[in-house]
Structure 1
Amino acid sequence: MRSWLASVSTGLKRRIFQRSLLLSAVTVALMFLAWYVVTATGLANKLFLPAPDAVWKAFVKAVVKGYQGNTLQVHVGISLLRILTAFAAAVIVGVPLGIVMGVSQTARSLLNPIIEFYRPLPPLGLYTLLVMWLGIGEESKFALLFLAGLPGIIIATTQAIWNIDPLYVRAAKGLGAKKSHLLWDVYLPAAGPTILAGMRISLGFVYTVLVAAEIVAATAGVGWMIWDAAKFLLSDVVIMGLIVLGLTGVALDMTMRAIGARLMPWQSAIRT
């Protein structure tokens, strides 16, 4: 009986996934169709909105011949290195800080004003100060991306820890759990899904700040490529770069979701 129910559940999930995939494909196809119609009929100036085939040719040229001395693969690799390095540092710093703030009212009172003050600051305004302090090299870019990703992780972790049912903590302590056991067996398993959601949102925000980080004294990177192409009205390169950024962002988000499903398999079990 259990095996039959498991097979039915697996088949149902597969059909739901296939249906979602089909609907997503239809949405993408309609967007490309609308893009083609608008450019083919002359409703949009091709200088500002090139046709899909022109963007594809720009993509092929960037992959084969490169843009401004570097191939598209190099630009993507440099941008991903900047993003992933800064995001990893934000996770390493933000998750422990969020746990401490979620457990301790004193820590939350001490640190929350600092986080809430700089969180809404515009990236470009903050970047000018970072350049003054750290120069125009990689250090200021890393700092900007790091600070962009940090608040979301801290806030999500703090809220996740704060929302854990105290009964779980008291029950674990009653069974003799030490602080390290509470961290790995109570706090992180219960708060993990919310922390992962905060990490995904923070990664997206780091992506939005990438162009700002790469416009100052950079010579490579997808954000820099988009900014440089815009100065010369190379809209095909700009749109191609935006599509590449979007696709790499989707790939990273899917990777994070897969890691979350691997580390927290009970969440999929709850949904089914």
Structure 2
Amino acid sequence: MSKKRKITLAVWLVLLLLWEVVTRLHLVSGILFPAPEEVLRTFVAIWQHGYNGIPFWQHLGITLWRLFSAILLAIVTAVPLGLASGMSDTVNGLVDSLVQFYRPIPPLAYYTLLILWFGIGESSKIILLYLAAFAPIYLAGVEGVRNLNQDYQLSARSLGASKGQIFRWVIFPGALPSLFTGIRTAVGVSFSTLVAAEMVASTSGIGWMVIDASKYLKSSVMFLGILILGGLGLLLDWLLRRLERRLIFWKGQL
């Protein structure tokens, strides 16, 4: 085991120990801060019997479906637009100011508008997550192109490469490291928006579980939902980093 992993493991063990000590000594009310074993019992109960009459896997599945649908849509649209915006001042003038305008707006500020326009079903939720994921990927595409060493493009052009060949063999591979960073950021931002997406007119999903439990002071369910969302975020980020190391072996060499 590497030194970094040992330190990471030690940090989590210390946090778990502190959590146990605080609850054992009753420094905080158990209603507000449940013990680790209480959260574990809640997980076993929800695993076996579901929550609010809905199986646990259905809650998890609908959350992942909303998340992956939004992220895939964002990748399909934001990657080409980001690359095009980085390569063309015309495209940048058409798109960039719009993205920069909505990017700093908190998602809850326009979620009510999305509900009015698209209803309370899945469409408004997926669009909210899509908008949250779009901006980081788009900006990563723009920066990936603009930060690329221009000598590579000039060298390819001097060797007779066409614009299509330069894009395929120089620009796109050169921007991929930045794009992967943008996708990782987009996953994190989407997770932070997920609870907001599931708090209105939902009856399933991990984020909805947290919101529903908060109404009845079910703190163990709230902690469990937060731990699940955080764990999923860590897992997805780890998978993306593994995929990045395997596919983009030239990262750091350009």
TM bracket, shorter-chain basis: over 0.9
2:105 is the counterpart of 1:121: yes
Partner of 1:86: 70
Partner of 2:172: 188
* Deviation at residue 163 of structure 1 after TM alignment: 1.1
- Report the Cα distance in structure 1 between the residues aligned to 2:115 and 2:23, rounded to whole angstroms: 41
With 231-240 and 64-73 compared, the bigger mean Cα shift is at 64-73
Alignment of 1:158-197 (within 5 A): 158-197=142-181
Residue of structure 2 aligned with 1:230, choices 211, 214, 220? 214
- Report the Cα distance in structure 2 between the residues aligned to 1:109 and 1:259, rounded to whole angstroms: 33
Q: Which runs of 5+ in 1 are unaligned?
A: 1-16
2:192 is the counterpart of 1:208: yes
- Report the Cα distance in structure 2 between the residues aligned to 1:30 and 1:211, rounded to whole angstroms: 28
- Report the Cα distance in structure 1 between the residues aligned to 2:168 and 2:44, rounded to whole angstroms: 48
2:26 is the counterpart of 1:42: yes
Paired AA for residue 237 in structure 1: V
- Report the Cα distance in structure 2 between the residues aligned to 1:199 and 1:189, rounded to whole angstroms: 15
Partner of 1:53: 37
Paired AA for residue 151 in structure 2: L
Partner of 2:114: 130
- Report the Cα distance in structure 1 between the residues aligned to 2:58 and 2:167, rounded to whole angstroms: 40
- The alignment yields a C-alpha RMSD, in angstroms, of 1.2
Residue of structure 2 aligned with 1:258, choices 220, 225, 242? 242
Residue of structure 1 aligned with 2:223, choices 235, 239, 242? 239
- Report the Cα distance in structure 2 between the residues aligned to 1:227 and 1:242, rounded to whole angstroms: 11
- Report the Cα distance in structure 1 between the residues aligned to 2:88 and 2:219, rounded to whole angstroms: 51
Aligned residue pair count: 253
- Report the Cα distance in structure 2 between the residues aligned to 1:258 and 1:182, rounded to whole angstroms: 27
2:66 is the counterpart of 1:74: no
- Report the Cα distance in structure 1 between the residues aligned to 2:130 and 2:67, rounded to whole angstroms: 8
TM-score (ref. length: structure 2): 0.97
* Deviation at residue 144 of structure 1 after TM alignment: 0.3
Residue of structure 1 aligned with 2:15, choices 31, 48, 60? 31
- Report the Cα distance in structure 2 between the residues aligned to 1:179 and 1:244, rounded to whole angstroms: 46
* Deviation at residue 49 of structure 1 after TM alignment: 0.2
* Deviation at residue 181 of structure 1 after TM alignment: 1.7
Q: Which runs of 5+ in 2 are unaligned?
A: none
* Deviation at residue 118 of structure 1 after TM alignment: 0.7
Percentage of matched positions with identical amino acids: 38
- Report the Cα distance in structure 2 between the residues aligned to 1:143 and 1:263, rounded to whole angstroms: 29
* Deviation at residue 158 of structure 1 after TM alignment: 0.1
Paired AA for residue 118 in structure 1: Y
* Deviation at residue 111 of structure 1 after TM alignment: 1.3
Alignment of 1:13-28 (within 5 A): 18-28=2-12
- Report the Cα distance in structure 2 between the residues aligned to 1:241 and 1:186, rounded to whole angstroms: 43
- Report the Cα distance in structure 1 between the residues aligned to 2:51 and 2:88, rounded to whole angstroms: 51
Residue of structure 2 aligned with 1:148, choices 126, 132, 143? 132
* Deviation at residue 179 of structure 1 after TM alignment: 2.4
With 39-48 and 254-263 compared, the bigger mean Cα shift is at 254-263
SS in 2 for 1:33: helix
SS in 1 for 2:2: helix
- Report the Cα distance in structure 1 between the residues aligned to 2:34 and 2:122, rounded to whole angstroms: 33
SS in 2 for 1:47: coil
Deviations 1:114-162 (A, max 9, x none): 1111111111111000000000000000110000000111111101101
- Report the Cα distance in structure 2 between the residues aligned to 1:199 and 1:123, rounded to whole angstroms: 18
